[in-house]
Amino acid sequence: MRKGYILKESFKTWLGAIKEKFPLIAPVQDDGLTLFKEVEKVDDIVLDYGITRMPPKDLFFPQTEKMFRIKNKNNVAIELESPEKVTDELVLFGVHSCDLKSILALDPVFTTRFPDRYYQERRDKTYVIGLSCTKALPTCFCTAYGINPTDADGADVHLTELGDKYLVEVVTERGEKLAAAIPGIIFEDTTNLEAEKAKLTEKVKGEIKFIDLTGVKEVLDENFELPLWEKWAQKCLGCGICTYVCPTCHCFDINDFNRGDGVGERFRCWDSCMFSDFTRMAGGHNPRPTKKERVRNRFMHKLKYHLDRYNIVGCVGCGRCVQRCPENIDIRAIISDIKGGV
Amino acid sequence: MKRLFEFIGFEPGRFHARWISGSEAQKVVETARKVTEEVRALGPNKKMRDDRC
Amino acid sequence: MLKEKIKSTVTELLENKRIDFVIGYGAGSDAGTVRPAFVKSVEEVEQLIWSPFAVNNLAKFVMDHLYENIKIGVIVKGCDSRSVIRLVQDKVFPRENFYVIGVPCKGILDKNKVAKDFDLSGDLVDFTEQGDEVILKTSKGEFKLRKEDYLLDKCYRCETPTPVVYDVLLGEEVAPFRTDDYEDVKAIENLSVEEKSRYWDKQFEKCIRCYACRNVCSACNCRDCVFDMAEPNWVGKAANLSENTAFHLIRAWHVAGRCVDCGECSRVCPMGIPVNTLNRKMIKDMKELFAVETPGKNPEQGPVLGTFRTDDPEEFM
């Protein structure tokens, strides 16, 4: 890993140089929400945000994605046209450590046993620039999963704001490519900056309430039935907020769009295990018939299944579901109930 | 229905609702003519178009 | 103290087996949040609280107990009580299976507004109200604020501070002291066609189709929802401006004349879409056209669009 720095006074110029070369996606204010969006002006980028309303996952796994076009004009032969190119190269800037980790949690789902060309291409063509947190929100709990709020894990290039400089860590080969393409990083000794970064890490960690996960997986390994699921499920509305704002939730549904004249497209779009029809079979049977099974599935996935399957966390402690759940179903409180075995 | 359509930005005149009995042939003709004229004057509808494919 | 009154009332109801369980408010993750609490036994009554932030409408949770021979106690504010009328009038949940515990309410605090000026990240230890001031005692400090500056938008136009239906009322009746002038609707009505279109396109573009606005709605009480159907595929699952607009229009029309204006749809929206403004536009129109009251406000008044009077205006003739 190469390390260097960018002076704050030339930082916007550096971002501007990126924007010259690539579409630049970064946190911006949009109608009162902080969202990852394509940047119009570098000045619009929000550098000191807490958390974006939506996670960055839709850069790799869009909510609605065309898979191929279907043509059946004269009812003779069906033609299928796959898109030749899914995306152009782009730069995703300003991703916090929890969201960086979430990308790593999604990778094995879409690139290992069932390689997904759409995800893979988006992933391959995106340069991810991470940005350390300088403050924590009351809903943050990344440290529960061993993530530090300044971790570079998952970024190609990672930045940390320290005084009048940004510490730059070039993490991957793709990061090297980006650093070479966009001049402005000064590769000099950064020992002092690294010491300052360590101080910042401790400061932000200190602001985060530590949630101890010791024993949680073991309880879930041993117990499928626990009274706590019914207790939490009865508060659930069955909406899709928690799964859609979650950076690691990745379920989708495949549908056809029919223009009405024999032309249409097959697309996939996000789906949610909290919806009552998520597991409903064609014949009407539903193996998860009530909210209890659905709520249990979601939290088992976050705290157990993803670890079992991919040996990586299924929750990164970003706190979006805690912030947005209309009935305040709080995964931190569920963790504490699991530990209590209730 | 018309009111909500207009509330979200459809042009007044884009949507018409008329109660016509099966025996009011003349009214059917007049209404169809009026609707056609008004909608033609507005030009193609831009809202709620699904431009996929 | 209201909290003590709630606890003693529920304890008595449970002890005398007059109800099977009660749906009330419990403490949430922080001082500005409450969480529904389902209390089935006297031992669990301790969970119940009252909070100046008790915004959630709890009435719809009875829908998890359709066709059960059961009596459910529900704690309702004025706005929520209209939802009880909704569920009863729609014959979704029978009145005799409800035990309505009414709470007179002069307004609920908007946690987003309060959090801008005060640190709500601690626990709510206690609160006291003196005149129009409220003192919040939280684990992160004590805050004194003027209630009138921090209420939910809907509270400034509340027409039913006292529940319109209840089996027991915890506190003195509060006479209506505000009126609804539909300023939010008028502001949009006064825009030009292009401005209206641009405004709503922006809102509908944000929609992530999580269906929280539907799921929280007491007028959305169909057993099978049009939005869950794949065959026929009335509204596509794709999230794009066209389908999202169709979703919001259909949602609004399906609750027209039945929406009780509790405002929960706007509250739960994770993307800040003013969902309820569409419903309020229709309530305003219906009030002007048919001289009716907000649905649910008058238990004698049936669903507006399910009622016919010979003197109804007929713009479509």
What would the pLDDT profile of A251-268 be if each residue is shown by its tens digit?
A: 999 999 988 888 999 999
> Given this model, what pLDDT does residue C308 score?
86
Residue B10 covered by a domain: yes
Strand partners, C133: C130, C146
Q: What is the mean pLDDT of residues C41-68?
A: 97
- What percent of chain A clears pLDDT 90, i.e. is strictly above it? 93
Q: For chain B, what percentages of helix, strand and coil (3-state, to nearest 5) are there?
A: 45, 0, 55
Q: What total of structural domains would you count in chain B?
A: 1
Task: List the one residue out of A5, A42, A49 whose CA is nearest residue A25.
Answer: A42
C-alpha to C-alpha distance for C76 and C104, rounded to whole angstroms = 9
- Residue C99 confidence class, pLDDT cut points 50, 70, 90: very high
> Could you give the 3-state DSSP secondary structure of residue A277?
coil
B27 within a domain of the structure (yes/no): yes
Is the predicted pLDDT of residue C131 greater than 90, yes or no?
A: no
**Is B27 an interface residue toward C (CB < 8 Å)?**
no
Note the pLDDT tens digit of each residue in A307-325. 999 999 999 999 999 999 9
Looking at residue C139, what is its pLDDT? 96
What is the token pair recorded at C38? Answer: 């389902």
Instruction: Tell me whether residue B48 is in a domain.
Output: no
CA angle C67, C263, C154 (to 5 degrees): 140
Query: Under DSSP, is residue C9 helix (H, G, I), strand (E, B) or coil?
Result: helix
User: Does residue B48 belong to the interface with chain C, where contact is any CB pair within 8 Å?
Assistant: yes
Strand pairing report for A64-71 and C21-27:
unpaired
Domain assignment present for B53: no
Residue partners of C47: CB distance under 8 A and separation at least 6: C26, C27, C37, C39
What is the spatial distance between Cα A93 and Cα A72, in angstroms, rounded to a whole number?
42
For residue C253, the distance in angstroms to the closest alpha carbon of chain A comes to 20
Nearest to A309 by CA among A298, A299, A301, A321: A301
Low-confidence winner among A169-183, C28-42, C224-238 (lowest mean pLDDT): C224-238
Structure tokens at C245: 């607009």
In a domain, B49, yes or no: no
For residue C232, name the pLDDT band (cuts at 50, 70, 90).
confident
Which chains are adjacent to chain C, needing at least 3 Cβ pairs under 8 Å? Answer: A, B
Q: Is residue A158 a contact partner of residue A168, using CB atoms and an 8 Å limit?
A: yes
- pLDDT at position A137 is 97
pLDDT at A77: 83
Q: What is the pLDDT of residues C247-301, one digit of tens each?
A: 999 999 999 999 999 999 999 999 999 999 999 999 999 999 999 999 999 999 9
User: Using CB atoms within 10 A of its CB, is residue A212 exposed (0-12), middle (13-18) or buried (19+)?
Assistant: exposed
How far is CA A247 from its chain centroid?
A: 3
Interface of B with A in 1-53 (CB under 8 A): 50, 52-53
Q: What is the mean pLDDT of chain C?
A: 96
**Per-residue pLDDT at C310 exceeds 80:** yes
Q: Can you tell me the distance from the alpha carbon of C21 to that of C34, in angstroms, rounded to the nearest whole number?
A: 19
What are φ and ψ of residue C280, in 5° steps? -70, -30
| Predicted confidence band of residue C317 (pLDDT cuts 50, 70, 90) | confident
Contact C208 A63 (CB under 8 A): yes
Instruction: State residue A250 phi and psi, 5-degree precision.
Output: -145, 20
Q: How far apart are the first and last CA of chain B?
A: 30
Q: pLDDT at residue C5 above 90? A: yes
- The pLDDT assigned to C233 comes to 86
Among candidates B7, B50, B52 on the partner chain, residue whose Cβ is nearest the Cβ of C196: B7
The string of DSSP letters for C268-286 reads H-TT---HHHHHHHHHHHH
Peptide bond into C232 cis (omega under 30): yes
pLDDT reading at B51 higher than 80? no
The predicted pLDDT at position A300 comes to: 98
In a domain, B9, yes or no: yes
Q: Residue A202 has which token pair?
A: 């401790």
**Residue C230, Cβ density class (10 Å: 0-12 exposed, 13-18 middle, ≥19 buried):** middle
Q: C136: pLDDT confidence band, cut at 50, 70 and 90?
A: very high
Q: Please list the alpha-helical segments (H only) found in C16-91.
A: 78-89
CB of B42 within 8 Å of a chain C CB? The answer is no
The sign of the CA dihedral B13, B19, B21, B27 is negative
pLDDT of A327 reads 98
Q: Which domain holds residue B10?
A: 2-42
Q: Is position B52 within any domain?
A: no
Residues of chain A with pLDDT under 50: none
Does C67 have pLDDT greater than 80? yes
A309 contacts chain B (CB < 8 A): no
pLDDT tops 80 at residue C159: yes
Band of residue C309 on the pLDDT scale cut at 50, 70, 90: confident
pLDDT tens-digit readout, C249-264 = 999 999 999 999 999 9
Q: Mean of the pLDDT values across residues C147-153?
A: 97
What are the residues of chain C with a beta carbon less than 8 Å away from any beta carbon of chain B? 188-189, 193-201, 236, 238, 240-243, 245-246, 249, 252-253, 278, 281-282, 285, 314-317
Query: What local confidence, expressed as pLDDT, does residue C215 receive?
Result: 98
Structure tokens at C179: 């009126």
Q: Which of C238, C240, C282 sits opposite B4 (nearest CB)?
A: C282
CA dist., res. A63 & res. A36, Å (int): 14
Mean per-residue pLDDT for C239-245? Answer: 96
Distance (Å) from the C-alpha of residue B47 to the closest C-alpha of chain C? 8
For residue C88, give the nearest of C180, C208, C218, C254 by alpha carbon.
Answer: C218
Q: Which residue has the higher pLDDT, B45 or B52?
A: B45
